């Protein structure tokens, strides 16, 4: 059995061979191998990595990953790495993406596909497709429309939307823009009063389900995010008051009207709902 060092050497040599192969010359795989031969660079970007060949309008996109590379080029490093970040050295994030590649479409021939129906029903609500907009915080950090803009996009495809605890738009405003009930994502917290407040507020505003983030307790080591912060030349304190979680959450609608007896302290933040 090869040692870990021997395995790493073998991987490097194999990637170097691929990079030099005429079959892959000029492709994005060659660029990736040249950047970091032992593994693909963080954060992982699945769209073409040749930044001089990015799409210039949404109509040019071949798939959703074409937008990611445009974002990587134009969004400040801390904000891009925040959304692209997993935990530690991204082993789990890589494994998740690799595992999704194991799913394939089963080709079917000589059947009527003129009326494809991808609709599905989730908790009694019918959607045109099973695609879900997962929760992520701080959308106004990327566009003035914030989560309302995301809701309008979800409405076009009739997708289920899940709103983050760290959202910069209220549940009610998102539902109004979506035109359909949404789900609410709840972070685990060390104060029951906080969880009770969030759930009751989301329910009162029209959310029909709660998705609980259970792996955030104990804080997170988001190395990709931290690297982005080091390269970001902006003054983050202009938007973020990190002196305490209470002050940093002032702009988050879900933290409004919290009972004075409760602390807004939240232990850890989820990988999908984290806020920049």
CA distances (Å), 48 to each of 12, 19, 43, in order? 22, 16, 14
Once rounded to an integer, what is the mean pLDDT over residues 214-232?
Answer: 79
Per CATH, the architecture of 116-276 is what? Alpha-Beta Barrel (3.20)
pLDDT in tens, 256-265: 777 655 544 4
pLDDT of residue 187: 87
**What does the alpha-carbon distance between residue 15 and residue 21 come to, in Å, rounded to a whole number?**
10
β-strand 132-133 against 160-163: which pairing, if any? Answer: parallel
| Residue that wins the pLDDT comparison between 245 and 161 | 161
Once rounded to an integer, what is the mean pLDDT over residues 94-108?
Answer: 84
Q: Which range (46-60, 143-157, 230-244) has the least confidence?
A: 230-244
pLDDT of residue 211: 95
**What does the alpha-carbon distance between residue 120 and residue 128 come to, in Å, rounded to a whole number?**
7
């Amino acid at each position: 059995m090869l040692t870990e060092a021997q395995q790493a050497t073998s991987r490097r040599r194999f990637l170097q061979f691929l990079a030099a192969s005429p079959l892959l010359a000029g492709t994005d795989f060659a660029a990736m191998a040249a950047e970091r031969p032992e593994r693909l660079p963080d954060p992982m970007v699945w769209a073409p990595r040749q930044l001089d060949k990015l799409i210039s309008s949404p109509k040019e996109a071949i798939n959703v990953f074409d937008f990611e590379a445009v974002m990587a080029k134009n969004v400040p490093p801390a904000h891009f790495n925040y959304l692209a970040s997993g935990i530690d050295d991204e082993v789990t994030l890589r494994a998740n993406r690799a595992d999704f590649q194991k799913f394939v479409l089963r080709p079917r021939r000589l059947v009527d596909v003129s009326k494809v129906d991808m609709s599905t029903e989730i908790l009694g609500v019918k959607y045109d497709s099973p695609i879900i907009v997962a929760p992520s915080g701080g959308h106004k950090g990327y566009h003035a429309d914030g989560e309302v803009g995301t809701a309008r996009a979800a409405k076009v495809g009739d997708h289920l939307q899940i709103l983050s605890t760290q959202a910069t738009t209220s549940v009610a405003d998102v539902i109004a823009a979506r035109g359909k009930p949404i789900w609410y994502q709840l972070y685990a917290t060390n104060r029951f009063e906080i969880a009770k407040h969030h759930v009751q507020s989301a329910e009162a505003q029209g959310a029909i389900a709660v998705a609980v983030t259970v792996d955030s307790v104990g804080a997170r080591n988001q190395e990709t995010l931290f690297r982005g912060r080091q390269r970001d030349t902006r003054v983050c304190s202009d938007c973020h008051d990190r002196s305490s979680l209470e002050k940093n959450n002032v702009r988050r609608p879900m933290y409004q009207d919290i009972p004075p007896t409760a602390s807004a302290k939240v232990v850890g933040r989820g990988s999908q709902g984290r806020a920049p």
